[in-house]
Structure 1
Amino acid sequence: MALIFDLDGTLLDTLASLANSFNRSLGTLGMPTHPVNDYRYFIGDGLRNCVIRCLGNAATEQNIERLTEIQQADYRQTWRDDAVPYPGIESLLDVLGQDNVPMAVLSNKPHQFVVQMMDYFFPNTRFHPVMGHRPGYAHKPDPTTALLIADELNIKPSQVAFVGDTRADIETAVNAGMHPVGVLWGFREFTELESAGATDIIGSPHELLSLDLPK
């Protein structure tokens, strides 16, 4: 058995961090900002989609490019701010590590940020591989990268549980033939995870240990 975790909304609470970065960037462009809670529904299926949602009716190609450039520059300086592991995550990872459970990360966040954040927030936990979005690869829910992770771990997809907080995560698991586990401490609600096809939906990290996961 192996586990693939999503990052934002699953391992790390980055809602305020991302919202503040996008709002600063929108302000730089003289455009309206959004309440932090709105970003629960902006985040999850890739940077470009988040930018388009932030811009709303102003989402011209020129504005998409401008906001993307400004926000990425801002985030390179501020990704540590207002980001923190969810309660119970670090102790869960300790237990899984002691049991030698293979663990990987797959995020739609740009790859360089995923690697930096995992090294910074979880320096004592082994995740391999750690994958963010890279040019030439489709975002989740496309299963390609999830299947590449299973191959790198030398394990069948059916023996992998994919743990995440959004429809994109659950559909990735379904598309890859993995066991989909939805989490309720992240950005989305039970109904979204259920309708996407989650086999299990948990309300706290340590509930993962009691699930009947693939062997």
Structure 2
Amino acid sequence: MNLAEVLAMEDPVRIARLLIGLELVTEIGGRLTSGLITETEAYWAPEDRASHAYNHRRTKRTEVFYGPAGTSYVYLCYGIHELFNVITGPEGTPHAVLIRAVSPLRGLDTIMERRAIKTLKPQLTSGPGVVSRALGITRRHNGLNLLDDQSPVRLKVTRTRVAASQIGESPRIGIDYAGPPWADKHWRFFLKDSPFVSRSPGKKQSAPNS
């Protein structure tokens, strides 16, 4: 997989699927941590009412949407959670994919310390705010080049091969305000057999949306 080419594709829904099984790596404060991406959501601005860049909205916060594919977008949600997104699509096209959950791979002790959890369980890295906390991602990491091997936050292609049949889909979480058809679109993707998923079909919401 050529990750740069994938992230630059026009269709963020397809990209959100393809990101399942990739590794999200952080190297912050001398601590290396990472997780296998198990859950994503696509945001297709300018049409998508759930996107921060809906109707080509341009503010200091959303300007990063119009940069190159593979740029990080980190923002504060509910004044508490720092959510990590990947900007996608041709430059100037405000598409993004929210990373909702990962399965811990590297730096488990650090991840558990950051989360104040002493055992390996799904709550460790399931939910978008939790992902950032576990991997040490904050708004200071907004606007980074995730394709740069020297970046403190970066994406990495793994040897894990995820078949289409292994990926589930559902409407995105917590975006009822967007109304139809946007709230109904099945633009949330997750690794079916992974316990590290923020919400299983039929269960109540467990984490905030992008």
TM over 0.5: no
The TM-score normalised by the length of structure 2 is: 0.26
Larger-gyration structure (1/2): 1
